[in-house]
Amino acid sequence: MKLLGIHHVTAMCSDPEKNREFYSRLLGLRLVKVTVNYDDPGTYHLYYGDSVGSPGSAMTFFPWPSAFRGRAGTGQVGVTGFSVPPGSSAFWKERLRDAGVDANQGTRFGKTFLAFEDFDGLQLELIEDDDHREPWLGAGIGPNEAIRGFHSVSLWVKESQPTVLALIGAMGLQERGAESGRVRLSWEGVAPGALVDVVERPDLPAGRMGVGSVHHVAWRTRDESEQLDWIEHLQSFGLRPTPVQNRTYFKSIYFREPGGVLYEIATDGPGLAVDEPVESLGERLVLPAWLEDQRAEIVARLPEFALSGGAPLR
């Protein structure tokens, strides 16, 4: 029983159209699913990623146009990092600049990265690394530059030790190095998509959930059987996972680690293509079976959101 790396990252945004403009048309990710937040069906749930939104590539958003801005701080995923090919930073720096996005270049653990924010202030990085995952080639971005999936997440905590001990002892990661107040851990070597940085930030207040902040990070488990084993295993470490939740495209459990970050453990399957063809992923509003009879009511509550051709997404 082991976790396989990052499954997805879910954040809150304001305007769904601006969100698609940034993540699909600027960063070149494919919009692979348009559904609703199962716990709040009047809110979209947008998924971006590779050609099928594979585990390890899916960045998802809850758009709440009238919600308050979040506050960056401890107990959160402070930075979400995407993997890009070595030597592509110059391309990305120019592309971001042309879109009015400032990016700062740096080096960490021997890898070049660009740090920037989306239009809601969500903190992101593009990190150069050897990554052989197949990218989605969209928005005019070629194979030598395209995002491969997640590289790593940076967890901001008041004290790093409790979080590091939980990740190692309860979740099976291994420490790979430390640099400038940052401890790097991973599963299975140091491959992109399986890296977690714990960053001690005593200078920051506790984070406040809202627009421009990450809601949770999900880790990959193979199947439902292993997920049930994880519930028992986590409980033995004093952690309190929820019962299994059916998210249609995967099954999920949730819990908070000692530093306050909300974690999910999600199954790899059945995947985002379970209810619509791969070639037309993300081109219509998909509802789970138990909400389908409420479609008209749900659509009336959702903000406007158009397909690429201009037709309403209804």
DSSP state of 206: B
Residue 312: its pLDDT value, please?
55
H/E run at residue 160: helix 160-169
Beta bridge partners of 268: none
Q: Report the pLDDT averaged over residues 31-57.
A: 96
Domain that holds residue 109: 6-301
Per-residue pLDDT for 305 more than 90?
no
Could you tell me the end-to-end alpha-carbon distance of the chain, in angstroms, rounded to an integer?
41
Helix (H) or strand (E) segment spanning residue 7: strand 6-13
Whether residue 111 is contained in a domain is answered as yes
Instruction: Report whether 204 contacts 217 (CB < 8 A).
Output: no
Domain CATH code at residue 183: 3.10.180.10
Question: Mean pLDDT across the stretch 195-209?
Answer: 97
Instruction: Determine phi and psi for 177, rounding to 5 degrees.
Output: 160, 170
On the CB side of 210, CA atoms within 13 Å amount to: 13
- Residue 114 identity: L
The rounded mean pLDDT for the chain is: 95
Confidence of residue 152 (pLDDT cuts 50, 70, 90): very high
Tokens of 205: 């207040």
Give me the pLDDT at residue 27, please: 98
Q: Nearest to residue 220, comparing CAs of 258, 243, 180, 187?
A: 187
Q: Sign of the C-alpha dihedral, residues 68, 69, 71, 76? A: positive
Quick one: pLDDT at residue 188? 81
Distance, CA of 301 to CA of 308 (rounded, Å):
21
Consecutive H or E run containing 299: helix 295-301
**Residue 313 predicted with pLDDT over 60:** no
- pLDDT for residue 307 is more than 90: no
pLDDT at residue 189, as a whole number: 80
Average pLDDT over residues 185-192: 90
| Among 314, 312, 303, residue whose Cα is nearest residue 19 | 303
User: Among candidates 108, 131, 141, 129, which has minimal Cα distance to 23?
Assistant: 141
pLDDT more than 90, % of the chain: 93
The per-residue pLDDT for range 69-127, each reduced to its tens digit, is: 999 999 999 999 999 999 999 999 999 999 999 999 999 999 999 999 999 999 999 99
User: How many other β-carbons are positioned within 10 Å of the β-carbon of residue 204?
Assistant: 18
What percent of the chain clears pLDDT 70, i.e. is strictly above it?
A: 97
Residue 61 lies in a domain: yes
Q: For residue 155, give every residue at least 6 positions away whose Cβ sits within 8 Å of its Cβ, in sequence order, or none.
A: 76, 77, 78, 163, 196, 197, 198, 199, 217, 259, 261
Closest to 165 measured CA to CA, from 68, 260, 258: 258
User: How many domains are contained in the chain?
Assistant: 1
Could you identify the residue written with the tokens 């070049």?
A: 112
Confidence of residue 1 (pLDDT cuts 50, 70, 90): confident
What is the tens place of the pLDDT at every residue in 224-277? 999 999 999 999 999 999 999 999 999 999 999 999 999 999 999 999 999 999
Give me the pLDDT at residue 236, please.
Answer: 97
Task: Please report whether residue 263 resides in a domain.
Answer: yes
Check residue 290 and give its pLDDT: 94
Length of the chain as a residue count = 314
Q: Is residue 34 part of a domain?
A: yes
Q: Residue 268 falls within a domain, yes or no?
A: yes
148 falls within a domain: yes
Within 8 A by CB and 6+ apart from 138, the residues are 24, 28, 29, 30, 146
Beta-carbon contacts of residue 251 (< 8 Å; ≥ 6 apart): 224, 227, 244, 245, 266, 267
User: Is residue 310 domain-resident?
Assistant: no
pLDDT of 66:
86
What confidence tier does 306 reach under pLDDT thresholds 50, 70, 90?
confident
The structure's pTM equals: 0.96
Residue 190 has what pLDDT? 86
Per-residue model confidence as pLDDT tens digits over 129-140: 999 999 999 999
Is residue 311, in this structure, part of any structural domain at all? no
At 72 the three-state DSSP class reads coil
